[in-house]
Amino acid sequence: MAIPIFVSGLLVLCFSIIAIASDPSPLQDFCVADANSTVLLNGLACKDPKLAQASDFSFSGLQMAGNTSNAVGSRVTPVTVAQLPGLNTLGISFARVDYAPWGINPPHTHPRASEILTVLKGCLEVGFVTSNPDNRLITKILQKGDVFVFPIGLIHFQRNVRPGSAIALAALSSQNPGVITIANAVFGSKPDISSDILQKLSRQMRPL
């Protein structure tokens, strides 16, 4: 009798840990973000649901190609809670990514979201790097219609490997996934990271 009780208790504990680790479920039908609220929350305050309109739940613009005339040859058009207030508390967002020929979406990470990406046009090399100490690169060439997932928090990238343009759509598991572009964070921080630190980093990387 003691063993079933122990097993039951262990299962309850496991499910409790899972519940604590996940995002809380919404406590109402929706929570349209109130851009005018001065209340500081882990997220955005809700506006009066009686004032919600269809425009709070819709976004137009993903049919338009992003301008890829930049240093990296790509453009991300995000649809997060900043563009679509009705996403607030729902734990999802979306993006269109356009790539010039040979363009890249440079190594970056989403600190608050996993990402699933599908290719609509062209051919992409995609990949992510596992955490220390292995730092294993997992990469694949995707054709039109292929799908790839980037686990939360891991550095990942995409590269157009064809002379024509490419398009991808991405869904993310947060209404505000955040993005940290590695090169920008290290070499473009405000204020600058100490040059002594960057020099030591450069010496560490030189043998590679």
| Structural domains for the chain | 56-205 (2.60.120.10)
> Which residues belong to the annotated binding site for Mn(2+)?
108, 110, 115, 156
> What percent of the chain stands above pLDDT 70?
87
C-beta of residue 57 within 8 angstroms of C-beta of residue 86? yes
Say what the pLDDT of residue 20 is.
44
Amino acid found at 110:
H
Q: What is the largest CA-CA distance in the chain?
A: 70
| Rounded mean pLDDT, 108-136 | 98
Which residue has tokens 């649809």? 79
> Which residues belong to the annotated binding site?
105, 108, 110, 115, 156
Q: What is the pTM for the complete model shown?
A: 0.84
> Which residues belong to the annotated binding site for oxalate?
105, 110, 115
| Rounded mean pLDDT, 13-37 | 69
Tokens at 47, concatenated: 């506006």
Tell me: pLDDT of 25 over 80. Answer: no
Residues 6+ apart with CB under 8 A from 202: none
pLDDT in tens, 80-107: 999 999 999 999 999 999 999 999 999 9
- Nearest one of 203, 201, 105 to 155, comparing CA atoms: 105
Tell me: pLDDT of 154 over 70. Answer: yes
DSSP tag of 49: G
